[in-house]
Homo-oligomer: A and B are copies of this chain.
Amino acid sequence: MKKINFKDKFEKFTDQWSPKVVAEMNNYQFKLVKIQNDFIWHKHDDTDEVFIVMDGKIFIEFESETVELDQGEMIVVKKGVKHRPFSKEEACIMLVEPKDVVNTGEKVSELTAPNDQWI
């Protein structure tokens, strides 16, 4: 039973848009990600997805609105809902989702990251 320090974990990587798993709870994973600039539109047909902003500011564009999220804020993107995360400056976020979720959802792109990368 080992604790996880988010700051220590974020210091272990520099690549962006490539989720790193830090913990598993049942069949769910907690993943840290550094993001900057634009991601692609995608959706997850089988699951909701949680975004928690750990440092910085991000935006999530939906078809009807764009939500701005600052440090200390979270959002649940409901399953099947098209969304596009982006940020102007680098931001550190945590995702919570089932362990087999692919970052680009139903799309395959150069931003599609390998799954289950533990740090």
A residues at B contact (CB < 8 Å): 1-7, 23-26, 28, 30, 47-50, 62, 65, 67, 69, 72-79, 81, 96-98
Contact B49 A25 (CB under 8 A): yes
Q: Identify A74's interface contact among B30, B69, B79, CB under 8 A.
A: B30
Contact B69 A50 (CB under 8 A): no
Query: What's the least CB distance linking A71 to chain B, in Å?
Result: 10
Contact A72 B7 (CB under 8 A): yes
What are 29 pairs between A and B in contact, CB < 8 Å? A1-B62, A1-B65, A1-B67, A1-B75, A1-B76, A1-B78, A1-B81, A2-B75, A3-B67, A3-B69, A4-B75, A5-B72, A5-B73, A6-B72, A6-B73, A6-B74, A23-B50, A23-B74, A23-B76, A25-B48, A25-B49, A25-B50, A25-B96, A25-B97, A26-B47, A26-B48, A26-B79, A26-B98, A30-B50
